[in-house]
Structure 1
């Protein structure tokens, strides 16, 4: 499909990317029209260049410095350079017809006319969006007007937050699309609208659309508002402006009466003079997106609706209500549309929006489906896109990347490029734009959004899996059964049964399966293992990991898919086994109280292990710390020696004397790990963590969680 892309910092292109596949609780929509958000979308187009952007957001430099300390100068520089050609999807609302749906969606049918929203949906010929972000379009509403459903629900939610009563004087600051819609909705709610903007043509438009009072946004607006309110000020002020200045907030405070209300829906710096806010005792409200369910993944992605009796107006119900008002002729949208462009001319559409002389307001993109009589019936998904005209078949190993996430671009793809005889054949991701971006950057022959394309390709003989944890097992199993060697990021699997199936598949096929336990190849841990090999008695190991990033709504924090323990702490249970070369026989663990959203108790654990050789180990894994609390620290003690590795960068050896070795950059062993993986395939050796190592890590972590939940020590047996 064709999709609108921001390439790098500011270039807008239309490129061919794979169509998205359907997902649980989602539908696939073929748009006829989509609406460009002149505020949200243009804010991500850095037309004044990188220096201006960095000057206005110095936090970018801090991010680069933090990345430099963790990943070193070479890979950090490569990532910074890549930002100038990286693909990003623009857009998040439009209207079209349903062309496919997951079996979990039962109340929509193929061919239904719908409006859609959702962050990251984009402007493309096929849009995947959650069922709760799709609203049926009444027959009386055109697709052009249905595009406004998302913006309309944002405006509707702001009006609800404002709690407007009959006769309330309501000032609306900023008369862009959302401001114009708010002005119309306030009148429907019984309020008296005082609309103002710096642009005279928008003030005039608000007047034509029914604003009771439309005022130019100059110094006279304060005096005029006082005159219209008998010197008392507005009962409520809604800020719908987008500005980098604090002026809209200051103006709102001046317009607002004593004990009045200010509602912020626009993107503005929030900075009010304390004394004036205090003396007026003004109430300040934030209006978040288009309903109480906004940004809730359970609602938007997993299809869990809010109970009607308790939450009357969700995102979806706001979208439906706005479309009802449009169908009834209560909201006038036609005058808001200033420009229409075919999809192929999207770059020109963005130029028009960014040109202050164009007078643009609502700019629509028209899709080829708009010319078809039955667009749902003619839809044929294209889930594979060629990137190179001719494929390179000389390489001994032709690799498919499965999952285009951060670990792939920071670690595994750069490592693959360093291994002789290895060629990246394909990139698979359900995110078509990201798949295309990675394929272009790392030289793949094609990209796809259908995993079956990878499995069917006879040229691919190795699959590198870096997808989300819950997909590792099924993707690895399918690849083995398709006759392909597998490198899978940890965790290899989430259950013992999944581990058993993978072990059987490796045994039956004779193929290699390696698990991404990179610490086995990190130079400082290699040195630690060498020193421990000299011991003549049991050892004591203490591992401490602080990972505050795995918290809140971040997917890896979800205990239902393993959480931080199966997803990350597995590194350290593998590390202890590898350092000691001894199986654990028992674990006793405790976690923070469970049932809380943050910190998630199951992700904050202290676990003590007893090993077969008499050694003991302790793992402290927490997500409740701060980013300045340090990262990982591993201490090992045996008779007459102590060894400490801190965050991959320092090694301290304490024997008869104390020696310390420090590296400027963390060296995590990714390159060495990948090189040994391919060597293992060629030489039938076993240097990289294999299917049994992956099984062990999963079993150990599951026993940790079992002990923490039962408050009992748990015996560990490696039996499959």
Structure 2
């Protein structure tokens, strides 16, 4: 293992729509903490919303879908060693509060604290060369990566957890028909996980290129989002409407589409509605038609082991998530990476930042 440098390159958020490539100090670690050298960090839609809306103070270094190698270990750390290949969750709950007892982990005050940083206010830090992983994350949210699994595959553990949580909440059955609106990386993950339950899965997107990626995961019921998705959903279900619709696109107008696409007694799962606002829907559809509008946000510690097995074993067992990666950028080109991720193109899917890419 090479010596840890004193400084590193990072994509630093300095204000709304203002990210700059800077040289900053490598973060120092304390007892119970580890320093991880980042190999791969995916760009998530929540990172982009923070950059574009100014919801968080500056300066910060975002990025939380990350995997790399332990470069240094603090006093008292057990179970990990320098050189271990790991991925780090950036949120881990306390396990003891009211919300943890109810398994609503994302509402735990400890969970809401971010336990990984590249410096400044803790915000993940994956858009940098090194991150400091804090003590409670080391204890509960640091996952070892086998030598035969790529960092690119492992960086999907956190986003897969968020999707797996939503699918588990739905309790899908083999005779269910599911519509997933949006086939970006998250939409494909949701659809692929829904398909694994035995349900019939319809996927909706504007771009044939995205449907082609989805097809690699066995998703063979594509709908053109420029057509009438509601009519198509009913045609596939003897006129009833689908049992479940998942909204994997951040557009409140799609909530009504999803509500109209489900059958009486069906359910709509909001997955990308992370911005506050107003979204009209027909209250009689909830009351008289007994339709359910529900949501799922962030990851669940209760399914971490299952998700780790799924992703790490899936690398060699039909769940190769690297197929979702369309673009790889170095830290020096991270602003360009964020720009592309913010303005998706037909051929762009998961975009990752890899400090050593040149």
- 1:97 partnered with 2:106: no
The question of whether the paired residues in 2 share the 8 Å contact of 1:20 and 1:127 is answered with yes
Displacement of 1:325 after TM fit?
A: 4.3
Q: 1:513 maps to what in 2?
A: none
SS of 2:46 mapped into structure 1: coil
- C-alpha distance 165-40 of structure 1, shift in aligned 2 (>3 A): same
SS at match of 1:275: helix
Alignment correspondent of 1:205? 213
Q: Secondary structure, in 3 states, of the residue corresponding to 1:91? A: coil
Match of 1:251?
Answer: 257
Q: Deviations over 1:606-659 (max 9, x none)?
A: xxxxxxxxxxxxxxxxxxxxxxxxxxxxxxxxxxxxxxxxxxxxxxxxxxxxxx
Q: 1:135–1:319: 8 Å Cα contact kept in structure 2?
A: no
Counterpart CA distance in 1 for 2:346 and 2:206 is 16
Any runs of at least 4 consecutive aligned residues in structure 1 with deviations exceeding 6 A, and if so which?
A: none
Note the C-alpha offset of 1:180: 0.8
How far did residue 191 of structure 1 move? 1.5
Alignment match, 1:121: 124
Partners of 2:150 and 2:142 lie apart in 1 by 16
Listed one character per residue, the Cα deviations across residues 5-27 of structure 1 (whole Å, up to 9, x for unaligned) are: 12222122121222222245432
Partners of 1:124 and 1:236 lie apart in 2 by 39
Taking the TM superposition and a 5 Å limit, the aligned residue runs for 1:427-576 are none
Give the Cα separation in 1 of the matches to 2:161 and 2:76: 25
User: 1:644-655 to 2 correspondence within 5 Å?
Assistant: none
**1:218-617 paired onto structure 2 within 5 Å:** 218-243=226-251, 246-267=252-273, 270-291=279-300, 293=301, 313-314=302-303, 316-357=304-345, 359-368=347-356
Structure with larger Rg? 1
Select the structure with the greater relative contact order (CA < 8 A; seq sep ≥ 6). 2
Match status 1:88 vs 2:60: yes
Q: What do residues 354-407 of structure 1 show as CA deviations (whole Å, max 9, x unaligned)?
A: 334473211111223x79xxxxxxxxxxxxxxxxxxxxxxxxxxxxxxxxxxxx
Structure 1 residues 128 and 153: CA distance shift in structure 2, 3 A? same
Match of 2:37 in 1: 30
Cα displacement string for residues 179-234 of structure 1 (whole angstroms, at most 9, x for unaligned residues): 11111111112111111123343233323431131101134211111111111221
TM-score under structure 1 length normalisation:
0.41
Q: Among 9, 19, 24, which residue is 1:17 paired with?
A: 24
Q: Quick one: distance in 2 between partners of 1:206 and 1:32? A: 26
Q: What SS class does the counterpart of residue 88 from structure 1 fall into?
A: coil
For residue 164 of structure 1, what is the aligned residue in structure 2? 172
Could you give the per-residue CA deviations for residues 231-285 of structure 1, whole angstroms, max 9, x where no partner exists?
Answer: 1221111121122xx2221111111112122222212655432011212212233
Query: CA–CA distance in 1 between the matches of 2:264 and 2:354?
Result: 47
- Asked if the contact 1:28/1:100 (under 8 Å) is kept, the reply is yes
Contact 1:172–1:196 at 8 Å: present in 2 too?
yes
Alpha-carbon separation, structure 1, partners of 2:210 and 2:191: 12
- Count residues with an aligned counterpart: 312
C-alpha RMSD of matched pairs (Å):
2.5
Distance of 2:33 and 2:242 partners within structure 1: 43
CA contact (8 A) 2:315 2:321 kept: no
Write the distance in 1 (CA, Å) between the matches of 2:331 and 2:157: 20
Q: Distance in 1 between matches of 2:176 and 2:30?
A: 45
Post-superposition offset of 1:31 = 1.0
Deviations, residues 136-158 of structure 1 (Å, cap 9, x unaligned): 11333211221111111111111
Q: In 2, Cα distance between the equivalents of 1:262 and 1:26?
A: 40
Q: Distance in 2 between matches of 1:142 and 1:151?
A: 16
In 2, Cα distance between equivalents of 1:221 and 1:367: 41
Q: Distance in 2 between matches of 1:229 and 1:358?
A: 29
Asked if the contact 1:164–1:189 (Cα under 8 Å) also holds between the matched residues in 2, the reply is: yes
Task: State the SS of the aligned residue for 1:28.
Answer: strand
Could you tell me how far 1:105 is from its partner in structure 2?
3.2
Distance of 1:110 and 1:207 partners within structure 2: 40
* Structure 1 unaligned blocks of 5 or more: 47-52, 61-82, 294-312, 372-720
Matched, 1:135 2:128: no
Distance 1:164 1:274 in 2: 25
Local SS of the residue matching 2:25: coil
Deviation (angstroms), 1:169: 0.9
- Alpha carbons of structure 1 residues 25 and 190: separation in structure 2 relative to 1, 3 Å: farther
Taking the aligned partners of 1:164 and 1:108, their CA distance within structure 2 comes to 37
Conservation of the 8 A alpha-carbon contact between 1:154 and 1:178:
no
Match of 1:186 in 2: 194
Is there any run of 5+ residues in structure 2 with no aligned partner, and where?
Answer: 1-7, 91-113, 115-122
Q: Is the 8 A contact 2:153 2:312 kept in 1?
A: no
